[in-house]
Each structure stands twice: as structure tokens, then as C-alpha cells.
Amino acid sequence: MIGLDKIREAAEEISDVVHRTPVLTSSMLNAQTGNEVFLKGEHLQKTGSFKIRGASNKILKAVRGGARHVVAASSGNHGQAVAYIAGKSGVQSTIVVPEDASPAKVAAIEAYGGRVIRCGLTSAERIPEALRIAEETGGVFIPPYDDPDIIAGQGTAGMEILSQVPDCEAVVVPVGGGGLAAGIVCAVKQLKPDILVIGAEPETADDTKKSLEAGRRIAIGPTQTIADGLRTSIPGEMTFPILQNHLDRLVTVSEEDISEACRFLFQYAKQVVEPSGAVSVAALLSGRAGISGKKVAAVLSGGNVSAGGFAEMLKI
């Protein structure tokens, strides 16, 4: 587990960079789920996702250590965050993305000044390529999730939730590589151990579910899901043990559950949330989270989706 002192240090490190994102509510969501739900708006974060927290914590330290080039592997959101903070810090960035990366996310990476390299379809393919580029160029690799500074940075969202919803009884968080979930579970369980922390991932990208069931990390190969930010092929080497030991439970949601959550958030909460960011609400709306009558924080982890893609998903 990442210590609370390290998460607090991260909060101080990134305080001038990231937003303290708002907590939103919806009476319709409360009625539909049977809970009092508080939406942690990381989709309103700089670069459109929580990823800026961990990326900033890692890169700012690297730049102080003399780094002039950073390299990342990302399906989109981590890459945007790395390109953004690298540009603000005056260093170069190279982002390795999958061949089928979201055009909107690739365009944003390039707009922030990042150089984009396409490689394969899975995290197991693009991470080694990013490591190779970093070694060849003398750059610093910025992991998407498997790093204590990254996890600590993501954990700052958990600290914020508890300060904004002090009587919170449960937190539902999306799970991909596990950085956000691991960071939040570290913060929450050290501050208030009795709070439930529930992970949610797509049924069609259920590497964490399979790994938890097997008691070890399981690779599932290429996956297809509208929640492109959660398409990891294997849980993180560092994040998985944290989730294995401290996550209260993990649930999966269907593609229709995810689409319905995006539609619901748009119609009733007036929020544009990408599919990856809406799986927490999908778990609540579908009943798969398995909780009722509680004060629940649901993390909306990102909002980076193209207008066309969002309209198609909403069936407008």
C-alpha cells in the first residue's frame, strides 16, 4: 500500500497544477439507485481526466532531476496528461498509442505538443515500445499506472472525496490498469477503513476480475469495449496486489450498462462523460454495485470523447 504521507506529498506537489474537482449530485440518480450519490467530477479535470494527477506528480519530480524528454504509453487520457504537463514544464514528450486509439484523444495529445507513435492494440505491446524509445532517446518513462508516484498522485482524488463528502460510506471507481483504484483505495482505507471501495470494469475487458478470481495476474489479450480507457490486457504489477488486498469488491458492467450511464448523465445531470468515466455510474444504475441506502461517491474519471462518437452512443 502507498503510504498516506506519500499521497499528501503528492497533493502538495500538484496543488498548483490540478483542479480540485467538484462533487455533483442528481436527485434522479439518487432515486434510480436507492443511494445518495455524489459524483466526483474528474471529467472536469485539466486535460479531461484524473490522469493529470499522477502524471504531474511524476513529471514535475523528473524535471527537477534534469529530465528533458518524457515517454508514455497510453490509450489516450494518460498521454494527454503527460503531453500537457511536459509542455508546461518545457520538456519534450513522446506518446505511444494503440493503432485504434480514439482520434479525438490523439488530436488532443498532438495539440498539447506530444509526438504520437502508434503501436499494436494492447498495453502489453505499447508499454515495451515506450520503454524502448525512452532507453534509445535518454528519456524518462512515465508509467500509466505501475509507479508509486503515479498511484500517489491518483490517490489525491480519494483524499478530496473524503474532505468533500465526510460522511461517505462507499466509493465506486473505474478500474483499468488499476492506478486510480489503487490510489483511491490507499487514501480511503488509511483515512477511513470502514468505507467500502468498489471497483467497476467492463465485462469485455475484465482482466482484473479474472485476476482476482485466479489469485494472480491474468492476461486476456486484445479487448473490445466502448470504454477505451479501460482496455488493459493485464492488471498492473504494482496496482494488482493493492486491489487484491484492499478493494472490497469488483463488479463488471455490460456495454449497454455503460452506454445507458453516459445517456443518463447527459440527460439528467447535464454532464458529458466518456464511457470509461461512466462505469462507476453504470455499476450503480444496473444494481451490480450491490449497495443501497448509502452515501456513495462515484468517480467520473474522464470526459474525453468526440462530439460525433458521443452523439452516436447517445443514439441522437
Spatial contact of 18 and 51, defined as CB atoms under 8 Å apart: no
Asked if 51 is an active-site residue, the reply is yes
Cell of 121: 492494440
Residue 95, phi-psi category: left (phi > 0), alpha (psi -120 to 50), beta (remainder): beta
Asked if 301 is an active-site residue, the reply is yes
> Among residues 177, 193, 210, which one has the least CA distance to residue 78?
177
Choose, from 6, 46, 51, 209, the residue flagged as catalytic. Answer: 51
* Residue 230 dihedral angles phi and psi, to the nearest 5°: -110, 15
- Sheet of strand 249-253: strand arrangement: 23-24, 36-41, 295-300, 170-174, 196-202, 249-253
Choose, from 49, 93, 259, 301, the residue flagged as catalytic. Answer: 301
Q: Which residue has the cell 492506478?
A: 179
Residue 114: CB atoms within 10 Å: 26
Q: How far is C-alpha 250 from the geometric centre of its chain's CA atoms?
A: 15
Spatial contact of 117 and 129, defined as CB atoms under 8 Å apart: yes
Distance in angstroms (rounded) separating the CA atoms of residues 156 and 200: 19
Distance in angstroms (rounded) separating the CA atoms of residues 42 and 21: 6
Q: Which residues are catalytic?
A: 51, 301
